[in-house]
Amino acid sequence: MASVFLYHVVGDLTVGKPEMVELLETETVESAICAIGESTEGGIPVWKRRPSQHVGVFENGEMRQQRFVGILNSLDIIAFLARSECLEDQDKAMKTPVSEVVVPNNTLLRQVDPGTRPRYMSTSEVSVIPRPGL
């Protein structure tokens, strides 16, 4: 039974999953709240806009890495909205671009070839602990 898993690839993990929602860094906190509320993921990736000269051009991994800003989650938004200046002017806070809220960290982006096979433990690395009563 365990040998069946050896033939699966990373791409199999994405089959049937909806596309990830993405935000541009210029979108507002208000739109981010809506996107996070509708998303099945814990966070929303935030991206810089593609330069106009790159529209329609294949984007390699390095280009995507440079455009990636970070991942915005609901805790980031709550912490931002809890600031005193946001509490004083809530309308302004909701219109703030997400680039001012997201913690920049482009190292969170990991690109994996869909044909990659995950590393599984061999049987010599697995310990079996007997359950009492069996």
Can you read off the two tokens belonging to residue 55?
């529209």
> Which residue type does 132 have?
P
Residue 9 lies in a domain: no
Structural domain of 80: 18-110
Query: Mean pLDDT in the chain?
Result: 79
The gap between the terminal CA atoms of the chain, to the nearest Å, is: 21
The CATH code of the domain that includes 79 is 3.10.580.10
| Most confident range, picked from 21-30, 42-51, 107-116 | 21-30
What is the predicted pLDDT for the residue at 134? 43
Residue 125 lies in a domain: no
> Which residue type does 129 have?
I
User: Total domain count for the chain?
Assistant: 1
Residue 10 lies in a domain: no
Can you read off the two tokens belonging to residue 35?
């996107």
Asked whether the beta carbons of 68 and 106 are under 8 A apart, the reply is yes
Beta carbons within 8 Å of 41's beta carbon, 6+ residues apart:
20, 21
Asked whether the beta carbons of 10 and 116 are under 8 A apart, the reply is yes
What is the predicted pLDDT for the residue at 113? 67
In tens, the pLDDT along 9-19 reads: 666 666 666 67
In tens, the pLDDT along 70-110 reads: 999 999 999 999 999 999 999 999 999 999 999 998 888 77
Residue 8 lies in a domain: no
